[in-house]
Amino acid sequence: MNTLQTLRFRVRCLYVITLLILPSLLQAGDDLEAALLDAARGGDAAVISQLMDAGVDANVQTASGYTPFILATYHAHTAAATALLAGGANPCATDERGSNALMGVAFRGHEAMAEWLLEQTPCSVNHRNLNGQTALMIAALFGREAMIEQLVAHGADPALADASGNTASSLAQAQGLTRVVNKLRFLIRAWIDEPCVTVRSASDALAISSA
C-alpha cells in the first residue's frame, strides 16, 4: 500500500469512527447542559462552577428559552446566580416571551433576589417583554407591594403602559387590589412632579406629592 492509499485508508477510518462516536458526544453535551440547568434550578453553585469550568455554555436555554441564570434567580438562589454571572452568564437574557430574570423574580415576589439583580446587573428596570409588560406591572398584577416600592426606588416608571394599554395601576385595579392602586397613584404623582427624586417608599411619594 503506497502513501496515498494509506492516507485514504486513514481518512475513511476516521470518518467511520466519527460517525460511530459523534452521537455519544452530542448526547454527552446535551446531558451536561441539562445538568447545568438542573443545578441552577436547585441552587448548586459548586456544580455550576464545575460544569462551566468543563466548558458548558452558561447561556444554554430550555425549550421555553429559560437560561440557567433565569432559573437560578426565579428560585432565589443568589449564590448560584453569582456563580453563573462569574462564568459569563448574560443577566439580561430573555425567554421566549421576552421576559428577563427580574420579571420572573417580580412574579415570585423574591425581594432580596430582586435587590441583588438591581444592584449587581446592568439590565434596565423598565425592560419590556414581547407584550410590553415590565417587572413593575407584574409586581402590581400580583399585589407585591414591597416590590413595587423597591422597583420604583430603582427607577421603574409607573406610568408606562403595555401593548394593550394597561399600566401597573390598571392591572392592579382589574384584580381588585385597592391598596396597590392607591400606592401606585402616589408613586405616579411623585414621578411626574419630581422625576429626578429617588422615591424609596409610598410615604416618600406622599410627602413629595403633598409638597
Give the up-direction half-sphere exposure of residue 70: CA atoms within 13 A in the CB hemisphere: 21
Q: What is the pTM of this model?
A: 0.78
pLDDT of residue 183: 87
Question: What pLDDT, on the 0 to 100 scale, is given for residue 83?
Answer: 97
Sequence-ordered strand ranges (E) for 88-186: none
Residue 10 pLDDT greater than 90, yes or no:
no
pLDDT per residue as tens digits for the range 143-189 = 999 999 999 999 999 999 999 999 999 999 999 999 999 888 888 77
pLDDT over threshold 70, residue 87: yes
Mean pLDDT of the chain: 83
User: Over 90: is that where the pLDDT of 41 sits?
Assistant: yes
Q: What are the grid coordinates assigned to 185, written together?
A: 397613584
What pLDDT, in 10s, does the model give residues 178-203?
999 988 888 877 766 655 444 444 44
Find, among 103, 83, 104, 101, the residue nearest to 91 by Cα. 101
Asked if pLDDT for residue 65 goes beyond 90, the answer is: yes
Q: Hey, how many other C-beta atoms are within 10 angstroms of the C-beta on 204?
A: 19
Query: pLDDT of 51-61, one tens digit each?
Result: 999 999 999 99
pLDDT of residue 20: 43
What percent of the chain lies above the pLDDT cut of 70? 76
Task: Check residues 17 and 116 and name the one with the higher pLDDT.
Answer: 116
- Are 191 and 152 in contact by the 8 Å Cβ rule? The answer is yes
Q: What was the pLDDT predicted at 189?
A: 76
Q: What is the pLDDT of residue 123?
A: 97
Q: How far apart are CA 27 and CA 24, in angstroms?
A: 5
